[in-house]
Amino acid sequence: MGDLLNVTFEQIEIGQVLGTGVVAVDEASLKVFVERFLPGWDEGYGAPDPMVYALWCRLSQDVCSRWSGFKLLAVDGVRFMRNPPVGELLRGRVTIMGKDPVGDSKGVVIAQQDLLDEAGRLVFSCLTRALVSRQ
């Protein structure tokens, strides 16, 4: 399912785990992000929380936008566990926790979404709810 476009509500399974890809915390991006959005942040502390969130958004969107009629409704329970250093590779993961049909044409998909560092440690986590089209 991970490589298909227009995945419908019925094709998404509770318990399914999807990889969202990998993104690096690169020095140039960190410098630009801090300069534009968080002046005063010491880059030696690693990527600031808002940048970690932006990196998660990028990876999550790449996978979830394959879901037919995808519309993100909510991001809850956001947790920032650490600030990854420059050069760290972050791996995304989406775990389907639940789903609920809403009428004949849509359904809500509830997912746990995580970013993990190279050692498999949790960097970021959240719970999302999204609308997905039904068949």
Q: Tell me which residue of 83, 85, 92 sits closest to 126, measured CA to CA.
A: 92
Average pLDDT on 58-80 reads 94
Q: 3-class DSSP state for residue 133?
A: strand
Question: For residue 76, which amino acid is it?
Answer: D
Share of the chain above pLDDT 90, in %: 90
16's CB contacts (< 8 A; 6+ apart) are 1, 95, 96
Over residues 27-62, the pLDDT tens digits come to 999 999 999 999 999 999 999 999 999 999 999 998
Between CA 59 and CA 122 the distance in angstroms is 15
Q: 3-class DSSP state for residue 8?
A: coil
Q: Is the pLDDT of residue 4 over 80?
A: no
Provide the 8-state DSSP code for 67. B
- Residue 43: exposure state from Cβ atoms within 10 A (0-12, 13-18, ≥19): middle
- Token output for 1: 């399912």
| Structure confidence at residue 3 (pLDDT) | 47
Provide the 8-state DSSP code for 53. H
